[in-house]
Amino acid sequence: MKGLKNFLSSKVFICCALLGLILCVLGGAVFMRYIISGIPPVYEMEEYTPSLTSKVFDRNGKLVHEFSIEKRSMVPLSEIPVDLQNGVVAMEDRDFFKHVGFSTRGIFRALMNDLVTGRAQQGGSTLTQQLSRGVFLTQQKKIIRKIREIILAVQIEYSFSKPEILQLYLNEIYLGSGAYGVKAAAKRYFNKELSELTTGEAALLVGLIPSPGNYNPFVNPGRARERRNLVLQVMHDQGYISDEDLAKAKAEPLPEKEPTAQGDKPGLYFIEHIRRILEPKYGTETLWKGGLNIYTTLDIDQQIQAEQIMNQKLQEFDMVIAKGLGIEIDPNDAEADIRSATEEDENTTSTEREDYPRLQGAFMVRDVKTGAVRVMVGGRSFSDSKFNRVTQARRQPGSSFKPYVWMAALQQGYTPATLVKDLPTMFYFDGRTWHSFDENADLYSLDLAAQSFIGSKNFNVWVPQNYGGRSDGWITLRRALEKSKNLVSVNLIDAIGPRKVIDVARQAGLTAPLPRVPALALGVSVINMDEHLAALSTFANGGIHTDNYYIEKVEDNNGRLLEEHIGQEREAFTPQDSYLLINMMKGVVQRGSGTAANRLRRAIAGKTGTTQSHRDMWFVGMTPYTAAAAWMGYDDDTSQEKYHWTGSTTARWWTDIMEQILKDEPNDDFTVPEGISFSYINPNTGKLATPTDPNKFLEAFKKGTEPTSF
């Protein structure tokens, strides 16, 4: 009986042991399945692309900006200094070229440390383990993650060579201050290329690896020096550098001053504009992390000149206003001193403070023929205001809108010598449409006629006037444009109809709402500068319209072409009508309101614009190759009428900028198309001039429309 019990008990024991073994095997299998399920396939390493910087280049191939969330650049191992490679191996994994992905000694040492301290810590990881963790796994300090890290490291070692692993590690490692990889770190801490690094500088970067924050030379220079010297000593002890190299490297000074941005970088309004174009197209991840190469139309040298000159000139205007308010300012820092003086002056009322905004400006340059945008200055400071006054602000163009009216007149058979009415006119609105009084009367008579409508809520009366209040009776179409005659403009639109003018504006490229009212002739509608400049450029381009564009091509990080600009042209107006208008606009610069630009001594067609109460002041000017628009005013529509600033004022600083931009451009005149003839006329009568007429003027006409009488 006792033997039976022993037999049965031994059998139970064996069964239990077998069951336990089976459960252990099954549990181990489940556990290993769980472990392996969290490991990505190693072939993904071949396709792995770390977050890269997308680079923006100007038209001449100059790097002008980088889109990046992480400051990172990928470089081959051959371009990474040997001292930097050796330092990393010496400090982080001296057996790197011997192990199969993990170090048993390192793991045991780390495990003992964890048991002693009672918590999991970093340590004992080879370069390959660090790489597997950095690329595929989380940084969480758990035993399961450590096991996965070792398994993945072995797979990486099996699939890649040691140089390949080291190259990816040096491009992946985080070295603080947003710098990923050694190339970005060299720029971040020393503002150097990798090839320029000294042994001491390479050692400092290596020292950052365990804790970039603690060993940051700008934050903890003492710790950074100690850590750098430790790296150098270890490199010396392992035979990577000589005694002389060690002493020399330890004597090197640390970088003392962290690189800081000196104000706005040039071209930020342009950069933000292309971000708005590309981000919806390629997505945020690709633009900011994909390493795109973006080749733009921007000319960064011209952009810098435009920003500097515009800011300087507008600051001078700020100083004039400040002087009028009795504020003493420093000409080198007008904005800051005006602000502080206004805040500190007890005699300055709150109303005066509110009424003193900073004068704003905008400037844009484009290629007349292709539409390539070379310069975009959306305001005085991108850091102060990201609102782009070139593309986002809709302002009244004032008299700079008149070329559209004049083109409509040319299409209706007018010539530059046609006499047009510069006489007072009254318009009234009957509740449905505007009408003009068909009478030749002085302002007094028109005022009397208007009395019958005063007090009636169904009628509105508008009596436009020329700037300065003077009218010249009947003058030629050319002279009316040169003198920017408001009365001629409204009489023209009354004669040919607002719809014709709107059709011209649409054909030229304006898309903004344009009201069918007589005041449209004076530029009361609101439009964007970029559209306005592109539309007026159509006339300088012989009637051929091209849209603005900003990007020549985009490549991915492997150089594969993603997109490339293909120019498109549209014939909007005849070459003959376009030339007649441009020829008249040249007179605006030679004899009219835009004479400030005449000092450039080249063929320039232009038009000034000043809106009511001097809230907007424009100048748009064009050569056969380059068109540019300038605007100044206030974001809150503050009037500066008391300073008598006009579009002619804007033309002066437009000219200062264009003097630099046009200095290398051929001094050519606008091409005369076929079908154009020239005749000498009397500029007052528009008739043919006699041979002895001292005031005769050579005017352009479409063949068959020349005057025939003297």
Residues forming the active site? 92, 399
- Check: CB of residue 501 under 8 Å from CB of residue 414: no
Instruction: Spell out the residues 6+ positions from residue 129 whose beta carbon is closer than 8 angstroms to its own.
Output: 101, 102, 149, 150, 153
Measured in whole angstroms, the distance separating CA 563 from the mean position of its chain's CA atoms is: 19
Task: Report which of 510, 513, 524, 532 is spatially closest to residue 427, judged by C-alpha positions.
Answer: 524
Instruction: Spell out the residues 6+ positions from residue 54 whose beta carbon is closer than 8 angstroms to its own.
Output: 66, 67, 68, 287, 288, 289, 290, 291, 292, 293, 294
For residue 680, give Cα distances in angstroms to 175, 360, 409, 580, 710: 76, 44, 21, 15, 10
Dihedral angle, C-alpha 595, 600, 605, 608, nearest 10 °: -40
- Check: CB of residue 705 under 8 Å from CB of residue 411: no
What burial class does residue 192 get, using C-beta atoms within 10 Å of its C-beta: 0-12 exposed, 13-18 middle, 19+ buried? middle
For residue 236, give Cα distances in angstroms to 92, 232, 249, 336, 470: 15, 6, 11, 54, 90
Strand, coil or helix: what is 3? helix
**Secondary-structure breakdown of the chain: helix, strand, coil percentages, each rounded to the nearest 5:** 45, 15, 40
- Check: CB of residue 605 under 8 Å from CB of residue 582: yes
Q: Which residues are registered as beta bridge partners of 363?
A: 377, 630
DSSP string, 329-358: --TTSHHHHHHHHHHH-TTS-HHHHHT-PP
Give the β-pairing of 676-681 and 697-702. antiparallel
CB neighbours of residue 309 within 10 Å: 21
Task: Report which of 232, 189, 188, 217 is spatially closest to residue 87, judged by C-alpha positions.
Answer: 232
DSSP 604: -
Cα torsion 14, 15, 18, 19: sign: negative
Backbone angles phi, psi at 675, to 5 degrees: 90, 10
